[in-house]
Amino acid sequence: MFQPLRPWQWLLVAITLAALAVLPLLSSNSYVLHVLILSMIFGIFASAWNLVTGFAGLKTFGHHAFFGIGAYSSALVALHSGLSPWLTIWIAALIATVAGLFIGLPILRIRSMPHVAIVTLGFAEIVRITISNLQSITRGELGLWGIPPFESFTLPVLGEMKFSPADKAGYYYLILVLLVFSTGLITLLMRSKSGLALVAMRDAEDAAESLGVNLTRHKLLVFGVSAFLVGLAGAFFGHYIGILTPSAAVGPDLMILVIAMALVGGLGTLSGPLAGALVLTCVVELLRDLNDLRLLIYGAIIVIVVMFLPKGLATLGPIVRRRFTYLRAPTTSPAKHL
């Protein structure tokens, strides 16, 4: 369970949210907003995966299946039913939840974590191949295009929020709201009795079961919540990008990127995956012009962070604070001991 936030931590959260809220008003650079939007999409994805792996201890490597299911479900429902994307993203998140419970019910009874990892990875590959082969519905690798954007609306202070490639402010504020929603949901879950049970299950599964923790129920709970959030992020991604391909929405490289974000940021922490998503998304964009060399530099950054900060960037603040406190601590004069 999380410790209560101190006053300075609440102040830091408030300042961060305020800065993110006013950023589009200070800068109209579409590229900067695009990078931040991608960072928040991956931040939701990484936080949801961290909920399962970092907090509950379930080693799953197939969460990109829920991302693709959410993206394609929302896009197809909006295309063929005429429903608004404001509604279809939640329908897609529920479809991803059902898929998570469907695959979770048989595999989460497995005690061997390597087997769970392999089975979930295999499930994601089945989803990717299925989407690729259903060309009459998904258009396969040719790409599902013509996905309708969100309808514009007007806010009292900010004015009209448009959703177009030229004006990304609407997308920015929407994904910011979804990020706050997902982070708040994870926080509430981990502060509850179920959160304590998840941590106990992660640290000592047999001991937790002997104390009355229903392992199957809690595994399904955390797996369902995680699939819901990943599906929601995928649904937003589909309407934001406007075109979907199986390799982009359900590719294994997407899962590798999200795992790297959680590890670099700090596995088993609340802020770690968010920080990792921001840092690695910016790094990928900055190194985009280096072609193949960017992968080498990208991997080197991950190795360096894991070597010198094994618990991730989330521990950097406490380390700096301890060093600063140690340097400012008064030294005892030898004369006082005489």
- Split into its structural domains, the chain has a count of 1
Instruction: Select from 88, 61, 54 the least CA-distant residue to 250.
Output: 61
Q: Is 11 inside a domain boundary?
A: no
Structural domain of 36? 27-251
Q: Is 192 inside a domain boundary?
A: yes
Query: Quick one: pLDDT at residue 326?
Result: 60
- DSSP, collapsed to helix, strand or coil, labels residue 54 as helix
Return the structure tokens found at 172. 């920015």
Burial label, 258 (beta-carbon count in 10 A; 0-12, 13-18, 19+): buried
Q: Is 275 inside a domain boundary?
A: no
- DSSP, collapsed to helix, strand or coil, labels residue 41 as helix
Query: Quick one: pLDDT at residue 338?
Result: 43
The residues that bridge with 154 in the sheet, in sequence order, are 160
Q: Is 133 inside a domain boundary?
A: yes
Specify the pTM. 0.90
Report angle CA 275, 276, 282 to the nearest 5 degrees. 95
Q: Is 221 inside a domain boundary?
A: yes
Q: Is 114 inside a domain boundary?
A: yes
Q: pLDDT per position in the chain (338 positions), as tens?
A: 556 666 766 788 889 888 888 888 887 788 899 999 999 999 999 999 999 999 998 889 999 999 999 999 999 999 999 899 999 999 999 999 999 998 888 877 777 778 888 889 999 999 999 999 999 999 998 999 999 999 987 777 667 778 888 888 889 999 999 999 999 999 999 989 999 899 998 888 888 888 888 888 888 999 999 999 999 999 999 999 999 999 999 998 899 889 999 999 999 888 899 999 999 998 888 877 776 677 777 778 778 888 888 888 887 766 666 666 666 656 555 554 44
Q: Distance (Å, rounded) from C-alpha 99 to C-alpha 228?
A: 9
